[in-house]
Amino acid sequence: MKAIRYHEVGGPEVLRLDEVPEPTPGPGEVRIRVEAAGVNFADTERRRGLYDATSPLPRILGSEAAGIVDGVGPGVDAKWVGRRVVALAPRSYAEFATTTEEELLELPEHVSFEEAAGLLVQGLTAWHLIHTSAQLQQGQRVLIHAAAGGVGLLAIQLAKQAGATVLGTVSSEEKAKLARESGADEVFVYGGTASVAEWVRTVTQGAGVEVVLDSVGASTWASSLESLAAFGHLVAYGSASGPPAAVEVETLYAKSLKVSAYWLRTPHPAALQRRAREALGSALAGGQLRVKLGLVVGLEEAAQAHQRLESRATVGKVVLRVP
Ligand SMILES: NC(=O)c1ccc[n+]([C@@H]2O[C@H](COP(=O)([O-])OP(=O)(O)OC[C@H]3O[C@@H](n4cnc5c(N)ncnc54)[C@H](OP(=O)(O)O)[C@@H]3O)[C@@H](O)[C@H]2O)c1
């Protein structure tokens, strides 16, 4: 089968379209004929050797796939064969990928494989940030950085559904427009003279926000802490601009702040993960949640997709269509 692998860490140019053996589903697993593979910022970090750096190379990239089940391993009900599904699935930048049966979410006919490929990594992250980590409540205010990105646009929609007021930060007017279209109440475009924290103070009449979701790290960390109201909660979940400064507990006392981290690969209670996945699946199918497809290219154009994602040139979801 065709697959995108990297043989050494480096820039987007290290991604190669290789011919590799097809995977076989093991016990409890299914094999998916991949129609669309989601691209995530973490894939670019993995390729650069900043994340998961101990994996042996060459390695097929990818972590989620939408497609059709074409085989099952021992112990899996054969009813799955032929069904349209989406799942967290490693090594999904390929024509076939395997995953466990419990990861499968069945897709109705009207949900496209491309949209579905944008649902799980970013949607589960957004869902757990809001419901599991921040436990965002009706009437609270949340500041979401990189608000027009894959996680960002989904987090805006889920935060609005939770009854929160949403403030977002982005790097361009085009991104600001998209964030507003997804429901953000106020959007800040970097680059002017005002700081994010000053802007937050202005739009919250001096109160600050109860929650900040920060995936940018180094360049936003200080303003994230400054933007919090008393007893506020900063949830870190990425470091697109580099790792944030170390947390000095002494600096948290003045406002009794809470700082936490969220990682999708932490083992989650199975029932909680199922609830999150099913909530996202039914919201997508029912039209209450939209996946904005910002860039859809062929599998062989994975390097271009990475280059655009890491140069901040994309909005919403980046997807590889698999032939
Ligand atoms: N913890 C977890 O389990 C988990 C899971 C999924 C994703 N993540 C993290 O969540 C973040 C968003 O992921 P995503 O896949 O949805 O990507 P994305 O938000 O679509 O793309 C990254 C965005 O980060 C912003 N950014 C700010 N400074 C940047 C810099 N120096 N270089 C590149 N981008 C920069 C850019 O938005 P602006 O141009 O608007 O600033 C860019 O569009 C990433 O940091 C990712 O690692 C974490």
Per-residue H/E/C for 179-230: HHHCCCCEEEECCCCCCHHHHHHHHCCCCCEEEEEECCCCCCHHHHHHHEEE
The answer to whether the CB of 240 is under 6 A from ligand 1 is: yes
Does one domain contain both 93 and 202? no
Query: Is residue 277 domain-resident?
Result: no
Alpha carbon distance 272, 113 (integer Å) = 25
Does one domain contain both 141 and 226? yes
Does one domain contain both 105 and 137? no
Nearby residues of 260 by Cβ (< 8 Å), 6 or more positions away: 133, 233, 234, 235, 236
Does one domain contain both 27 and 53? yes
Which of 151, 153, 167, 235 gets mutated to test ligand 1 (max ligand atoms within 8 A of its CB)?
151
Nearby residues of 149 by Cβ (< 8 Å), 6 or more positions away: 41, 215, 314, 315, 316
Does one domain contain both 136 and 254? yes
Helical (H) or strand (E) element with 69: strand 64-72
Task: Name the residue among 92, 94, 147 with its Cα closest to residue 122.
Answer: 147
Does one domain contain both 167 and 81? no
The answer to whether the CB of 238 is under 6 A from ligand 1 is: yes
Does one domain contain both 96 and 168? no
Does one domain contain both 139 and 222? yes
The answer to whether the CB of 148 is under 6 A from ligand 1 is: yes
Alpha carbon distance 136, 257 (integer Å) = 15
Alpha carbon distance 275, 11 (integer Å) = 37
The answer to whether the CB of 131 is under 6 A from ligand 1 is: no
Q: How many domains does the chain have?
A: 2
- Per the structure, the complete domain to which residue 45 belongs is given by 2-119+291-321
Nearby residues of 220 by Cβ (< 8 Å), 6 or more positions away: 145, 169, 196, 214, 241, 244
Alpha carbon distance 14, 309 (integer Å) = 16
- What CATH number does residue 29 fall under? 3.90.180.10
pLDDT in tens, the chain (323 residues): 999 999 999 999 999 999 999 999 999 999 999 999 999 999 999 999 998 888 899 999 999 999 999 999 999 999 999 999 999 999 999 999 999 999 999 999 999 999 999 999 999 999 999 999 999 999 999 999 999 999 999 999 999 999 999 999 999 999 999 999 999 999 999 987 779 999 999 999 999 999 999 999 999 999 999 999 999 999 999 999 999 999 999 999 999 999 999 999 999 999 999 999 999 999 999 999 999 999 999 999 999 999 999 999 999 999 999 98
- What CATH number does residue 141 fall under? 3.40.50.720
The answer to whether the CB of 217 is under 6 A from ligand 1 is: no
Does one domain contain both 102 and 168? no
Which of 64, 121, 215 gets mutated to test ligand 1 (max ligand atoms within 8 A of its CB)?
215
Query: Is residue 239 domain-resident?
Result: yes
Distance 19 CA to ligand 1 centre (A): 30
